Amino acid sequence: MLNGSITGEVFLIGTGPGDPELLTLKALRMIQGADVVVHDRLVSQPILDLIPDGVERIDVGKKPNHHPVPQAEINALLLRLAQSGQRVARVKGGDPMIFGRGSEEAAVLRAAGIPVSFAPGITAAQGVSAATGVPLTHRGLATGVRFVTGHCQANRPLDLDWAGLANPDTTLVVYMGHANMQQIAGALLAHGLPADHPVLVVMNGTRPNETRLVTHLGALQTKRATIAVPGPVLFIVGRVVRLLDEMAGPETDAILQSPELQRVLHG
């Protein structure tokens, strides 16, 4: 608190996967109304350029195996800034409530009596789906979708429900899985998914330097060296990948030739 009477507040803001046009109006309002912006490394430069001149920026970005500002210090920083009476924009890539540790930071702040507000962001899976045209669910191909992280705290081994994840009727989206992609592919194969099960790997999704790799589980174990980093990497595992424009085939033909569509087209 400032002079024992003024308490600031913290805005936990998701900025999406990088395309500034995917930023919500609420997120933009919070960013432009802040006294100080504390941001991660995955926040794209075009979004950082929206911060008004004169607003302090603090970079607390983490990289794989390199955390120059540990999470406990980030929590303490947010608390200290808010207690000094400032409006703090805590800006994150994606959505702060999906693998973004937003709830952890909010818990610390609320325990100290600091008001916290959220602005959701377009999570990477949705952004990549829109950018590529690959749906996350589709009749006849996927009845559901699951989001998992491919990275564990302190580089511990992944402990996921591999049997449940290896469901051919579900689209599996893996965040932060580059380092462990061989383990992920091997576990899914061992639990029953076929070697030719489609996989779409997207690097820097929705950004000008977006790149894509279409492959399958059997080859994914040997593809790690071909996937460029740094930059966020997302894996979409599932039959929906076959609907990618470059891969249009029997599934697309079936949609175009369906009786329902033909009735609409031809009466």
pLDDT at position 2 is: 41
Mind telling me the catalytic residues? 40, 62, 176
* E runs forming strands in 109-210: 116-119, 144-149, 170-175, 198-203
**pTM: predicted TM-score of the whole model, two decimal places:** 0.84
Q: How do 198-203 and 211-216 pair as beta strands?
A: antiparallel
The CATH fold assigned to 9-119 is: Cobalt-precorrin-4 Transmethylase; domain 1 (3.40.1010)
CB 89 within 8 A of CB 34: yes
In tens, the pLDDT along 46-83 reads 999 999 999 999 999 865 555 578 999 999 999 999 99
Domain 124-251 has CATH 3.80.30.20: no
For 37, the token pair is: 């912006």
Checking if the pLDDT of 248 tops 50, the result is: no
Checking if the pLDDT of 221 tops 90, the result is: no
Checking if the pLDDT of 222 tops 90, the result is: no
Question: SS3 for 74?
Answer: helix
In tens, the pLDDT along 39-54 reads 999 999 999 999 999 9
Question: SS3 for 33?
Answer: coil
In tens, the pLDDT along 126-165 reads 999 999 999 999 999 999 999 999 876 656 778 899 999 9
HSE of 151, CA atoms in CB hemisphere, 13 A? 16
Burial 187-226 (b: 16+ CB within 10 A, else e): bbbeeebeeebbbbbbbbbbbeebeebbbbbeebeebeee
pLDDT at position 265 is: 47
In tens, the pLDDT along 149-207 reads 987 665 677 889 999 999 999 999 999 888 888 889 999 999 999 999 999 999 899 99
Q: Domain residues of the chain, as ranges?
A: 9-119, 124-251
CB 58 within 8 A of CB 41: no
Fold match flag (9-119 vs 124-251): no
Say how far apart CA 226 and CA 37 lie, in whole Å.
35
For 136, the token pair is: 């996350």
Checking if the pLDDT of 249 tops 60, the result is: no
How many whole angstroms from its chain centre is CA 192?
Answer: 27
pLDDT at position 227 is: 63
Q: Calculate the alpha carbon distances from 112 to 9, 77, 115, 121 in Å.
A: 11, 13, 9, 25
What is the pLDDT averaged over residues 99-125? 96
Task: Give the single-character DSSP code of 6.
Answer: B
What is the pLDDT averaged over residues 242-265? 58
